[in-house]
Amino acid sequence: MRLPALLLLATFAGACVDSDEKGNDTAAGTDPALDADATVMDVTAELGTIITVVIVRWHTDEPTTGYVEFGPDTTYGLSTPTTEASTDHEVLLLGNPADTDVHFRVVLTEGEESDSTADYSITTGSLPTGIPQFTASGTLTDEWAYTVIPTQGTTPAVTIVNAKGETVWYYLPVVQEGNLMRALLSHDRKSVILGHAGMQGKLELGRLQWISLDGGTVTELSVPGFDHDLVELPDGTICMITVERRTRSDGTPWEADTLLELHPDGTTTEIFNAWEAFEYPESLPSARAANWTHGNGLDYWPAEDAYLFSMKELGSLAKIPRATGEIEWMIDGSLNQFDFGDDELVMLQHQFEMLDNGNLLLFDNGTQERGYSRAVELDIDEEALTAKQVWDYIRDPSVFVVAKGDVHRFANGNTQVVWSAVGEIQMVTPDGTPIWALNAELGQAFTFVQPVSSFYVAD
């Protein structure tokens, strides 16, 4: 099959239109190489509400499929997913820094054949006031392309940052007496999900938001009791930590956590309830705390279809299969069931993940008395209930992270460590050598972060 020659009628708001082909009318953006079978395309490009996002639309007089190649120059390097067969198409060009020329061309496809337009370009806008600035040092290889970073401090914000420290996506949320705790690029790559927790004592203000990637649509859902963390499953189900308030035997109020799933159809399922899981909560070491569990971290373990749930007041992390909603085991802290031998117990962990080899990687905040935080990997035997430390990393000079903290292990063996309250992310090799760092400006702290390889393909 021979694709027809393309007639491009391009209009750009604030765009610079170029072509490498001689004889092109660069002002009109038309390709003069026409024949009787020419397909007419109206190509437009404009910036989204988020000014690093470019929206490209085109029209053909017969149903076609296609995609857009784009990048900082005519070598492109990035491409969008292929559209479905249609006469009208729209794609988002994502991952562009601010104040940058974005070159692109439309590629039509049919089977193994393709035909592309000439090159065009449009310039992204300037970041709005309030977006935090970052400084990157060192070099990354194949770890990731972007990191989703919610920040707290002088101005709460959500940014997606590339390995150079450049902001390629951003959102300035309205914070209503609470904390921006978590931001995730959604599994379908259509939005960024934000989890807002109310201030302690005002958790009824908890809410979720879905920000479309072009910034034009914001959907919000009130989730009274939401606190600290959420995770999205591959099918789009969101599980979040929520708080349930009850009354002590002496009449004073106290709280404990539940795990609540929000399904794509809008229905909810309570998976776990700490009030039901612990028979005598008033006998626990944390019984006098306002929230005697104080869930501070959540992760999903796909291989086991289970949640890992950290309870700060108990200092313990629990494995909770979705099928039962019951605690299978607890590690660390006052309810630890594992034999650590001569190794040091983890103290007051935040974020964590189960590795492909079955080991547990987590951020160990430690205590003020110990004086430092660390990343640590444990080889755990779920049957024998043993845990052996096989790796750890302590920053040099060491730092004590009083709140938050995050870790992630990549396929090449390197580990991302997020020193949240310090406003620093490091990439370290298996032998503990730092090879890259991202630092926030003074007054900004990170909460939990999400590394992603692409805006278009789910990790």
Q: Give the CATH number of domain 135-143+227-446.
A: 2.40.128.630
Band of residue 459 on the pLDDT scale cut at 50, 70, 90: low
Give dist(CA 333, CA 343) in Å, integer: 14
Give whole-number Cα distances, 139 to 33, 75, 427, 428, in Å. 44, 22, 9, 11
Identify the burial level of 37 via C-beta atoms within 10 angstroms of its C-beta, where 0-12 means exposed, 13-18 middle and 19 or more buried.
exposed
Pick from 22-26, 62-66, 371-375, 398-402: least confident: 22-26
Cβ atoms 160, 140 nearer than 8 A: no
37: tokens are 């079978």
Average pLDDT over residues 339-347: 89
Residues 101-148 have pLDDT tens digits of 999 999 988 777 888 888 999 999 999 998 999 999 998 877 788 999
Q: How much of the chain exceeds pLDDT 90, in percent?
A: 73
Q: By the 8 A CB rule, do 428 and 414 touch?
A: yes
Q: What are the phi and psi torsion angles at 275 (to 5°)? A: -60, -35
Cα separation, 165 vs 178, whole angstroms: 27
Distances (CA, A) of 263 to 270, 365, 443: 11, 32, 37
d(CA 296, CA 404) in angstroms, rounded, equals 8
pLDDT at 5: 35
Q: Which DSSP letter does residue 4 get?
A: P
> Residues spanned by CATH 2.60.40.10 within the chain?
6-123
Q: What is the pLDDT of residues 352-382, one digit of tens each?
A: 999 999 999 999 999 889 999 999 999 999 9
CA atoms within 13 A on the CB side of 274: 30
* C-alpha–C-alpha distance, residues 192 and 183, integer Å: 7
Three-class DSSP category at 269: strand
Confidence of residue 28 (pLDDT cuts 50, 70, 90): very low
Q: What is the pLDDT of residue 26?
A: 33
Rounded-to-integer distance, Cα 372 and Cα 287, Å: 27
150-154, 166-170, 333-337, 350-354: segment of lowest average pLDDT: 150-154
pTM of the model: 0.90
The rounded distance, in Å, linking the Cα atoms of 89 and 86 is 7
Residue 451 near residue 185, CB atoms below 8 Å:
no
Note whether 20 and 74 are within 8 A (CB).
yes
Q: How far apart are CA 287 and CA 23, in angstroms?
A: 79
pLDDT band at 153 (very low <50, low <70, confident <90, very high): confident
Alpha-carbon distance 435 to 196, whole Å?
A: 33
63-72, 139-148, 233-242, range with the lowest pLDDT: 139-148
Q: How far apart are CA 125 and CA 102, in angstroms?
A: 11
Collapsed DSSP state (helix, strand, coil) of residue 330: strand
CB 438 within 8 A of CB 138: no
- Determine the Cα–Cα distance for residues 191 and 219; give it in Å rounded to an integer: 10
Measured CA to CA in angstroms, residue 120 lies from 116, 183, 246, 412 at distances of: 12, 33, 61, 37
Is 311 within 8 Å of 331 (Cβ atoms)? no
Cis, peptide link before residue 128, omega less than 30° from 0: no
Residue 458: C-alpha distances to residues 28, 185, 207, 212, 451 (Å): 37, 9, 24, 16, 11
CATH 2.40.128.630 location in the chain: 135-143+227-446
Going by their DSSP bridges, the two strands 253-262 and 268-273 should be labelled as antiparallel
**Predicted confidence band of residue 185 (pLDDT cuts 50, 70, 90):** very high
Burial class (CB in 10 A: 0-12, 13-18, 19+), 305: exposed
CB 44 within 8 A of CB 51: no
Place 178 in a pLDDT band, splitting at 50, 70 and 90. Answer: low
How are strands ordered across the β-sheet holding 415-419? 134-138, 434-440, 424-428, 415-419, 406-409
CB atoms within 10 A of CB 245: 13
Q: Which residues contact 25 (CB under 8 A, 6 or more apart)?
A: 32
Question: According to the model, what pLDDT value does residue 8 have?
Answer: 39
Q: Which fold has domain 6-123?
A: Immunoglobulin-like (2.60.40)
